[in-house]
Amino acid sequence: MTIKQPYENELQPGHYLFEEPGEGVIQYARAITAQYLEENPDADREELLDLMAAIIDQKPDNKRVKRCDFCRYLWHDDSKRNNKRTCSDECKRGLKTLQKRKQRKVKTVEEPPKENRGHKYYAHYEYPFWVSEQAMLSSRIDGESFMNHDAIDRISAEQEIYGGGNRKVVTHERLD
């Protein structure tokens, strides 16, 4: 007798399936067992264990027997249109909760919470400051100039003396 090992639920890492069969799964297992016992009233322990394994793992060639999207056991869909994905209301709710959690995770990664774009640079104080280094750097990336007037004056003064560009001009002979 072989029973598939429990496997990790891709929607909820760390949560192993084959743990709690939903109501629809239990009904399906009951119906199969009852039918088998009716046909084989003298079934022994070994036979019943094989039957259990088959109920858990072997999907019969029946379009109404499917694996519940949430609890992952086999169950029989009695609904008129045979379009249900979960074996019970409980599993349906569980699946929705997992999907929401997954969407929330994806959303958080794709669009991190918006930071407050205003009030990053406090310019009207005696010592202007940035709220954070990150705010300063991102502002630089945005192309916003944050050079103060003293720096601009100094650069234009140097340009008047040394000329433009970055080339350093030696103005004093060094006496060694």
Using CB under 5 A as the criterion, what x/- string covers residues 10-29 for binding Zn ion? ------------x-------
From the list 7-15, 57-65, 66-74, 137-145, the region that binds Zn ion by CB under 5 A is 66-74
Considering the complex, what minimum distance in angstroms separates the CB of residue 71 from Zn ion? 3
The three-state DSSP-derived secondary structure of 107-129 is HHHHCCCCCCCCCCEECCCCCCE
Residue closer to Zn ion by CB (options 51, 87) is 87
The separation between the first and the last C-alpha atoms of the chain, rounded to the nearest angstrom, is 95
Q: Which of 71, 74, 76, 77 binds Zn ion (CB under 5 A)?
A: 71
User: In angstroms, rounded to a whole number, what is the distance separating the alpha carbons of residues 40 and 45?
Assistant: 12
Residue closer to Zn ion by CB (options 51, 74) is 74
Residue 94 sits in the site that holds Zn ion (CB under 5 A) = no
Considering the complex, what minimum distance in angstroms separates the CB of residue 141 from Zn ion? 50
Exposed/middle/buried for 134, CB within 10 Å: 0-12, 13-18, 19+?
A: exposed
Residue in the shown chain whose Cβ atom is closest to Zn ion: 22
User: In angstroms, rounded to a whole number, what is the distance separating the alpha carbons of residues 70 and 86?
Assistant: 6
Say how many residues touch Zn ion, by CB under 5 A: 6
Residue closer to Zn ion by CB (options 33, 139) is 33
- Is there a contact between 59 and 9 (Cβ–Cβ < 8 Å)? no
Q: Which of 29, 51, 55, 91 binds Zn ion (CB under 5 A)?
A: 91
Tokens standing for residue 173: 């002979």
Residue closer to Zn ion by CB (options 22, 84) is 22
- Is there a contact between 91 and 69 (Cβ–Cβ < 8 Å)? yes
- The binding site for Zn ion (CB under 5 A) comprises 22, 68, 70-71, 87, 91
